[in-house]
Amino acid sequence: MGRIDETRPFVAVGIAVLTVSDTRSLAEDRSGKALAERIAEAGHRLAAREIVTDDVEAIRATVGGWTKDPAIDAVITTGGTGFTGRDVTPEALEPLFEKRMDGFSQVFHRISYDKIGTSTIQSRATAGLIGQTFVFVLPGSPGACRDAWDMILKDQFDYRHMPCNFVEIMPRLDEHLKRGAGKAV
């Protein structure tokens, strides 16, 4: 299990939250609100928060713009990970991933299984890296968002978390660009 190294300083990061829904407004968005509150409570910056409809191009446009913003280190989406005809968030974002984070989905499902049993298989939660920005695609339920933040993301976005965390590798996420996009030199 991980631990917090109190000798290291806390480093705040910028995190954007996107809710994907055809029916919710910002005032009714319990999942996005839960994430925004937890991000602030942890000491990070809520860099942006929006709602878009279940539309591939709208999702890509918002997340794509955020991944180009140097003030945004991570994007967390909520909604659109199920199997209905309108659930398209993984389809919108997975093709943009330069690197997939399969471990996130595996750990998320392990945690979810302990809470909701086999119903966890109805979520297509996923994560990856777009440019230098971490992107997490979560289900639309407030409970799933709380679980993902409290049991995975909170620690990984804490520079003091040991043995490793996302914050300490952020300065190295563009190494492939510096060495010629992965081509042998």
62 lies in some domain? yes
Average pLDDT of the chain is 94
Strands 14-20 and 99-100, how do they pair?
unpaired
185 in a domain, yes or no?
Answer: no
**In degrees rounded to 5, what are phi and psi of residue 39?**
-60, -45
**pLDDT per residue as tens digits for the range 116-144:** 999 999 999 999 999 999 999 999 999 99
The pTM for the full model equals 0.94
Identify the CATH number of the domain in which residue 83 sits: 3.40.980.10
Domain range enclosing 23: 3-175
Instruction: Answer whether residue 181 is part of any domain.
Output: no
Would residue 183 count as lying in a domain?
A: no
Q: Which residues are CB-contacts of 99 (< 8 A; sequence separation ≥ 6)? A: 128, 129
For residue 98, pLDDT over 60 is answered with yes
Residues 179 and 185: their CA atoms lie apart, in Å, by: 7
Residue 13 confidence (pLDDT) above 80: yes
Within-domain flag for 139: yes
Task: Report if residue 184 sits inside a domain.
Answer: no
Residue 124, token pair as written in the block: 């297509």
- The larger pLDDT score, comparing residue 62 to residue 182, is at 62
Number of structural domains, the chain?
A: 1
